Amino acid sequence: MEVEKLNKFNEWWTTKKVKPILLKPYKRLLFFKIQNYMKNRQILLIMGLRRVGKTTLMYQLIQQLLDKEIKSIKIIYFSFDEEIVEFDDLIKTYEEKVLLKKIENEKIYVFLDEIQKCKNWQNKIKIYYDLYPNIKFIISGSASVQINKKAKESLAGRIFDFLLEPLTFKEFLEWKNVKVDIKKLELFQRKIKPLFYDYLRKGGFPEIVDEEDDEKVKNYVKNNVIERIIYRDLPEEFGIRDHELLKTLIEMIATQPGMIVNYDALSRNLKKNKKTIINYFFYLEYAMLIKIIANYRKGFLVSSRKMRKVYIANTAISFVLAESFYSSSFLEKIAENFAVIETNAKNYYRNKYEVDIILKSGKKIIPIEVKYGKIELNSTLKFLSEFNLKRAIILTKEVFDKKTVNKRKILLIPLWAFSLTKEKYIKKDL
């Protein structure tokens, strides 16, 4: 491996600092959390969808080390998204051409970006981790299912994993320097609602927070997220050839968020093998483009495998692929989709009637309904009665209210306001 491939990624070896343009002024909450683990020996794995800021976070961590007067030559960064090289060649070149010492004798910080693109990465890192205690690995990946599986199988006890999600609505407001008094949310509705819709169309991607041109926002998400994953990431990882099927499925989900997954019907309608359809759903979930939730069943140890619902993993994708994004009916679907993302829901309920989200922790359950149009309580009250529960939440477009029906309490709160205060309400009931 040529040493120039390393030099281009590690300018701080000579400048002693990371380029300001790579750092960005805003630090995510995860930055401060990971700081507490930098002294631990364990590998740190940062996972997240493309363009949510994993690379920026790595550069900020590198600059933090430089600020603490760690020698710049002992910090190495490499992106497998830009160059595909053998892991052993990478370490050997660094050791022989840069460090000029045996790597086992030095405290080294190794940052590896998009690690899933490095063949057999988990076993390679395991060898170095076990042989050389002085090496601290900080790695990132733009996939969830498989990278986490490989990490847990091969690196059990050796790794801490972190999920870097898109900006929360709270972070989005902080980024824009908009302050809200959490205790007086109703007073801010007129000001905050337009910003919330702006947030939904941008999906919390940091690089487009301040972009006002709709076409530029769409092109950014389309080119840097959707097409990058469909035409490059997934084909490289799984050898996929039918790009159009991937594109068709993601467009279908983006325009019909919350659709019931029926593999037989999809196979017939798309004239594709059922197994292929199932595999492609796995690929999209692996790439963090979709989210699947299950139908909750009373008394079952596991949720029903039938009647699963699928949502888009980021509302900006729907903004790109759905022409009717701003229509009232579609906005209701987007609101439900966002609520599923925001609550990290695993279940909904459907049995003669339907409840959008079921959150469960141990024996505690809380039902959540999304009502962006007409507000009805029937399904919520039926669920509360059937499961003998006392509390529920209804996420509205703009209504703040509290209702008590047969000693059962229902909180009505706008979705945007819930997003800013969800920990308060979810922790209270779970």
Task: Please check the confidence at residue 389 and state whether its pLDDT lies above 70.
Answer: yes
SS3 content of the chain, % helix, strand, coil (to 5): 50, 20, 30
pLDDT, one tens digit per residue, over 391-418 is 999 999 999 999 999 999 999 999 999 9
User: What integer is the mean pLDDT of 43-47?
Assistant: 95
User: What integer is the mean pLDDT of 104-124?
Assistant: 92
Residue 430: what pLDDT? Answer: 59
**Percent of the residues in the chain that have a pLDDT greater than 70, as a whole number:** 97
pTM of the predicted model as reported, rounded to 2 decimal places? 0.91
Q: Are strands 401-405 and 408-414 parallel, antiparallel or unpaired?
A: antiparallel
Angle at 266 between CA 354 and CA 370, to 5 degrees: 25
pLDDT, one tens digit per residue, over 366-377 is 999 999 989 999
Residue 292: what pLDDT? Answer: 97
Residue 136: what pLDDT? Answer: 97
Task: Please check the confidence at residue 324 and state whether its pLDDT lies above 90.
Answer: no
CA 292 to chain centre: 14
Among the ranges given (157-171, 200-214, 293-307, 381-395), the one the predictor scored with the smallest mean pLDDT: 293-307
Cβ-contact 103, 132 below 8 angstroms: yes
Cβ-contact 122, 156 below 8 angstroms: no
Residue 413: what pLDDT? Answer: 97
**Percent of the residues in the chain that have a pLDDT greater than 90, as a whole number:** 84
Residue 145: what pLDDT? Answer: 59
**pLDDT band for position 339 (50/70/90)?**
very high
**pLDDT band for position 144 (50/70/90)?**
low
Q: What is the DSSP letter of 379?
A: H
Task: Please check the confidence at residue 70 and state whether its pLDDT lies above 90.
Answer: yes
- In Å, what is the CA distance from 271 to each residue of 265, 267, 280, 299? 10, 5, 14, 38
Task: Please check the confidence at residue 33 and state whether its pLDDT lies above 90.
Answer: yes
Residue 304: what pLDDT? Answer: 57
**pLDDT band for position 213 (50/70/90)?**
very high
Angle at 215 between CA 212 and CA 220, to 5 degrees: 90
Going by C-alpha positions, the residue among 138, 142, 139 that lies closest to residue 237 is 142
Going by C-alpha positions, the residue among 61, 152, 163 that lies closest to residue 112 is 61
Task: Please check the confidence at residue 23 and state whether its pLDDT lies above 80.
Answer: yes
**pLDDT band for position 18 (50/70/90)?**
very high
Residue 121: what pLDDT? Answer: 94
Residues in the chain: 430
pLDDT, one tens digit per residue, over 75-92 is 999 999 998 899 999 999
Task: Please check the confidence at residue 301 and state whether its pLDDT lies above 60.
Answer: no
Three-class SS state of 322 = coil
User: What integer is the mean pLDDT of 253-274?
Assistant: 97
Task: Please check the confidence at residue 303 and state whether its pLDDT lies above 60.
Answer: no
Average per-residue pLDDT for the chain: 93
Task: Please check the confidence at residue 267 and state whether its pLDDT lies above 90.
Answer: yes
**pLDDT band for position 323 (50/70/90)?**
confident
Residue 428: what pLDDT? Answer: 61
Six token digits for residue 122:
């988990």
Give the C-alpha separation, 121 to 150, whole Å. 9
Kindly list the structural domains of the chain, giving each domain's residue range(s) and its CATH number in brackets, ordered by start. Answer: 4-163 (3.40.50.300), 169-429 (no CATH)
Task: Please check the confidence at residue 148 and state whether its pLDDT lies above 80.
Answer: no
